[in-house]
């Protein structure tokens, strides 16, 4: 049987959540599970998040899925609702919403949830420099006044554009802008207003800005959110192992080429193996010459680093197994990323970030939860 396999280890996620709590002991945790839990599968990860205070999703559909899976704690809609209708549905399903532009503000003021509803607390988004979602300086003060006047509790929130890079000057500007407005709102509008700035990178790089709520995503999945420290240096554990198996061996003669576009040619006779995984499963089609996999000898369990050669195809890729024993077993496991091979490394070889590789996995691999 073809066995490209995604294995999810919820214990690793619980471990990573504890790392978040250790770094931000006084903050509540909104654990981000948007995009099907960064490709891991919401159902697989929710049980590992019972100690989170809330989960965050991008859409109401994702919120409903989590509710159907039995998540009964708070859910935050980080893009808020898209219509007055959806605002009503958010109230019916107890989803806390971001309010980031005028129409959402009007929907919230037209239809006010009950005093004990979680929807009675709103996340008011202030644009401090990302320039995607959020009110500007004047807009946020007036929105806060109107919401507070209507009985809403407020969490002022913003999102960093460059928190992964400790040296980037925009982050301190964003923090300054945030703190200025926060002080004004606290003084003039609502002395109990709460604050939330940090995604994973902010949690690691800006401990003074943890405030009331942190919003970790990628670090919960065991990938590094920052440019200058690896996941293992941050004591994070990979939640996903992505693996396949060797399906056949070949010896490619000197001068012969491999695969579509014949972009790799053998400088000498080369032992190669075909691996039953490709971009149809979610392995990136374009990788550079440093891309490699780990082959685990089915007999000895020894592990070998083997370069990916030739163009990755839809259903298979080719690796150079020159460094492995000559009697390497067919069916030997090939690790594409996971605990033994950081997804951050593969992302770098593919010119992207771990987030994209994880989210882009297809439905084809077998899914296993350990």
Ligand X SMILES: *Cc1c(COP(=O)(O)O)cnc(C)c1O
Place of tokens 């401990």: 207
Catalytic one of 34, 38, 125, 355? 34
Cβ-based nearer residue to ligand X, 6 or 226: 226
Calpha distance 165→178 (Å, rounded): 19
Choose, by CB under 6 A, the member of 32, 143, 147, 274 that binds ligand X.
32
Binding ligand X (rule: CB under 6 A), the pick from 215, 224, 283, 338 is 215
Min dist CB 296 to ligand X, Å, is 30
Q: Return d(Cα 123, Cα 81) in angstroms, integer.
A: 12
Least distance CB 88 / ligand X (angstroms): 23
The DSSP 8-state label assigned to residue 118 in this structure reads: G
Is 260 tagged catalytic?
yes
Q: Please, which residue, 170 or 314, has the CB nearer to ligand X?
A: 170
Provide the minimum distance between the beta carbon of 31 and ligand X in the complex, in angstroms, as a whole number: 9
Q: Which is nearer to ligand X, 217 or 278 (CB)?
A: 217
Q: Which is closer to ligand X, CB of 148 or CB of 159?
A: 159
Cα separation, 20 vs 204, in Å, equals 9
Specify whether the CB–CB gap between 268 and 274 falls below 8 A. no
Task: Closer to ligand X by CB, 31 or 319: give it.
Answer: 31
The piece of 43-51, 144-152, 215-223, 278-286 that touches ligand X (CB under 6 A) is 215-223
Cβ distance to ligand X smaller for residue 218 or 239 = 218
**Interacting positions 50-109 with ligand X (CB under 6 A):** 78
Of the ranges 143-151, 213-221, 244-252, 329-337, which one interacts with ligand X (CB under 6 A)?
A: 213-221
Min CB(202)–ligand X separation in Å:
8
Q: How far apart are CA 167 and CA 129, in angstroms?
A: 16
d(CA 177, CA 154): 18
Please indicate whether residue 34 is annotated as part of the active site: yes
Smallest gap from residue 203 Cβ to ligand X (A): 8
225 is an interface residue for ligand X by CB under 6 A: yes
Phi-psi region of 127 (alpha: psi -120 to 50; beta: other; left: phi over 0): beta
Residue 223 binding ligand X, by CB under 6 A: no
Smallest gap from Cβ 135 to ligand X, in A, equals 15
Q: Which residue is nearest to ligand X (CB)?
A: 217
Distance CA 364, CA 367 (A): 9
Q: What dihedral angle (degrees, nearest 10) is formed by the CA atoms of 283, 289, 291, 292? A: 120
Contact of 51 with 13, CB cutoff 8 Å? no
* Least Å from the CB of residue 175 to ligand X: 15
Site for ligand X in 144-203 (CB under 6 A): 159, 199-201
Structure tokens at 275: 């691996």
Residue 273 in tokens: 């193996």
Running DSSP on this structure, what letter comes out for residue 70? Answer: T
Count of residues that bind ligand X according to CB under 6 A: 12
Long-range contacts of 137-144 (CB under 8 A, 24+ apart): 137/177, 137/181, 139/102, 140/181, 140/185, 141/181, 141/184, 141/185, 141/188, 141/189, 143/99, 143/105, 144/185, 144/189, 144/190, 144/193
Among 33, 42, 77, 218, binds ligand X (CB under 6 A): 218
Q: Give the CA distances from residue 368 to residues 41, 84, 140, 153, 245, in Å, rounded to whole numbers and listed in that order.
A: 10, 39, 45, 41, 15
216 in contact with ligand X (CB under 6 A): yes
Of the pair 200, 272, the CB lying nearest ligand X is at 200
In the complex, the residues that contact ligand X under the rule CB under 6 A are 32, 34, 78, 159, 199-201, 215-218, 225
Which residue numbers are catalytic? Answer: 34, 260
């Amino acid at each position: 049987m073809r066995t490209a396999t995604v294995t999810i280890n919820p214990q690793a996620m619980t471990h990573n959540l504890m790392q978040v709590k250790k770094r931000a002991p006084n903050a509540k945790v909104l654990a981000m599970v948007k995009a099907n839990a960064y490709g891991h599968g919401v159902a697989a990860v929710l049980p590992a998040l019972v100690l989170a205070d809330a989960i965050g999703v991008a859409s109401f559909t994702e919120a409903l899925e989590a509710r159907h899976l039995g998540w009964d704690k708070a859910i935050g809609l980080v893009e808020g609702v898209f219509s007055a209708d959806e605002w009503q549905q958010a109230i019916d399903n107890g989803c806390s919403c971001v309010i980031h532009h005028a129409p959402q503000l009007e929907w919230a003021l037209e239809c006010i949830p009950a005093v004990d509803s979680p929807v009675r607390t709103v996340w008011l988004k202030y644009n401090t420099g990302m320039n995607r979602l959020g009110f500007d300086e004047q807009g946020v003060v007036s929105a806060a006044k109107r919401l507070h006047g209507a009985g809403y509790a407020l969490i002022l929130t913003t999102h960093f554009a460059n928190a992964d890079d400790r040296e980037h000057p925009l982050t301190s500007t964003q923090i300054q802008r945030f703190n200025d407005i926060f002080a004004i709102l606290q003084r003039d509008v609502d002395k109990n207003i709460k604050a939330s700035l940090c995604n994973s990178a902010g949690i690691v790089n800006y401990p003074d800005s943890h405030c009331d709520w942190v919003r970790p995503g990628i670090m919960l999945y065991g990938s590094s959110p920052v440019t200058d420290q690896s996941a293992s240096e941050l004591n994070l554990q990979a939640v996903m192992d992505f693996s396949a198996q060797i399906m056949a061996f070949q010896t490619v003669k000197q001068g012969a080429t491999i695969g579509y576009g014949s972009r790799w040619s053998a400088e000498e006779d080369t032992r190669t193996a075909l691996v039953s995984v490709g971009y149809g499963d979610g392995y990136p089609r374009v990788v550079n010459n440093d891309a490699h996999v780990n082959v685990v000898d089915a007999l000895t369990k020894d592990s070998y680093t083997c370069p990916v050669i030739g163009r990755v195809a839809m259903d298979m890729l080719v690796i150079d197994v020159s460094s492995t024993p000559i009697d390497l077993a067919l069916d030997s496991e090939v690790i594409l990323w996971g605990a033994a091979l950081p997804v951050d490394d593969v992302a770098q070889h593919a010119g992207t970030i771990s987030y994209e590789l994880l989210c882009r996995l297809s439905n084809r691999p077998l899914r296993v939860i350990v």
